[in-house]
Structure 1
Amino acid sequence: MTINLIADALVASLLVATIITCYILAKRIERLKADEAGMRQTVGALVTATDNAERAIAGLKNTLGDCDRTLEERLRTAERYAADLAAQVEAGQAVMERIGQIVSAAALVAKPVAEAQPPAP
């Protein structure tokens, strides 16, 4: 009978140890489930942030394309203005050369006329 009593006590103590271990494991599982819910929220927020970032990147690409087209148009306009300005500068230089020739010719004509006139008394 003492062996039965010792065996029953041993089985009871093992049952208590099993119950305590099950309780500890149940608490750990609850914490893991709570962490899982937190992780799901974090993953959901990350997915939302990723979607927002993708939309922002698409918007930036559109804006960059618009800026590129605008810059290209302005560059073409500036090149046209530069060509027009170069043509006008060239025409101005031609006019200045002609004025220089006229002044030189007038100076040559004025010298003989001045030499031919007697000084005023």
Structure 2
Amino acid sequence: MDLGVDVILDGLLAVLLAATVIYCFVLNRRLSRLRNAQGEMAELVRSFHQATENARASVGELKVAANAVGADLQKRIDAGRSMLDELEVVVHSGGKVAERIEQGVDRSKAAAPAETQRQERSPAEHDLLQALRKVR
């Protein structure tokens, strides 16, 4: 009986040893694939690093371009504001001139004889007076 137990234990040991050898073979193949993939992964990391550096350089160039465009835009805004200020002064002065003209017309009407007042204004005078009133 001892011999039977020894044979069973030897058989069990042989089966476990065979399973270990098969597992080692499979593990060796997986490790080989992992080593091959490691080279591919290193290449991928290098490629990613290069793309990151290119993106970083592009962002720097975009910042420089944006600053240049911003400065140009600010100059144009400042010029536009200056022109707006000048136009406001011109419009204000034009309004004062229009008021003086209208006062002069009213005074000349009052001083003119009744016959002259009855005459209608010419279309040009009428248009001028309307334009002057709109400006105020």
Instruction: Tell me what 1:53 maps to.
Output: 55
Query: Identity percentage over the alignment?
Result: 30
Runs (4+) of structure 1 exceeding 6 A deviation are 8-15
Q: In the TM superposition, what is the alpha-carbon distance from 1:67 to its structure 2 partner? A: 1.6
User: Structure 1 counterpart of 2:106, which letter?
Assistant: S
Q: Indicate the larger mover: 77-86 or 27-36.
A: 27-36
Instruction: Tell me what 2:84 maps to.
Output: 82
TM-score (norm 1): 0.74
User: Structure 1 counterpart of 2:30, which letter?
Assistant: R
Q: Indicate the larger mover: 9-18 or 71-80.
A: 9-18
Q: Of the two structures, which has the highest relative contact order with CA contacts closer than 8 Å and spacing of 6 or more?
A: 2
Residues 111 and 28 (structure 1), Cα distance of their counterparts in 2 relative to 1, 3 Å cut = same
Count matched residues.
Answer: 111
The correspondence of residues 30-49 of structure 1 with structure 2, limited to 5 A, is 30-49=32-51
- Could you report, residue by residue, the CA deviation over 1:33-66 in whole angstroms, capped at 9, with x for unpaired residues? 1110111111111101101110111111111111
Indicate which of 6, 26, 29 corresponds to 2:28.
26
What value does the CA root-mean-square deviation take over the aligned residues? Answer: 2.8
TM-score (norm 2): 0.67
Indicate which of 96, 105, 108 corresponds to 2:107.
105
CA distance in 1, matches of 2:19, 2:110: 130
Residues 110 and 10 (structure 1), Cα distance of their counterparts in 2 relative to 1, 3 Å cut = closer
Q: In the TM superposition, what is the alpha-carbon distance from 1:83 to its structure 2 partner? A: 0.5
Instruction: Tell me what 1:69 maps to.
Output: 71
Indicate which of 80, 93, 96 corresponds to 2:95.
93
CA distance in 2, matches of 1:103, 1:86: 25
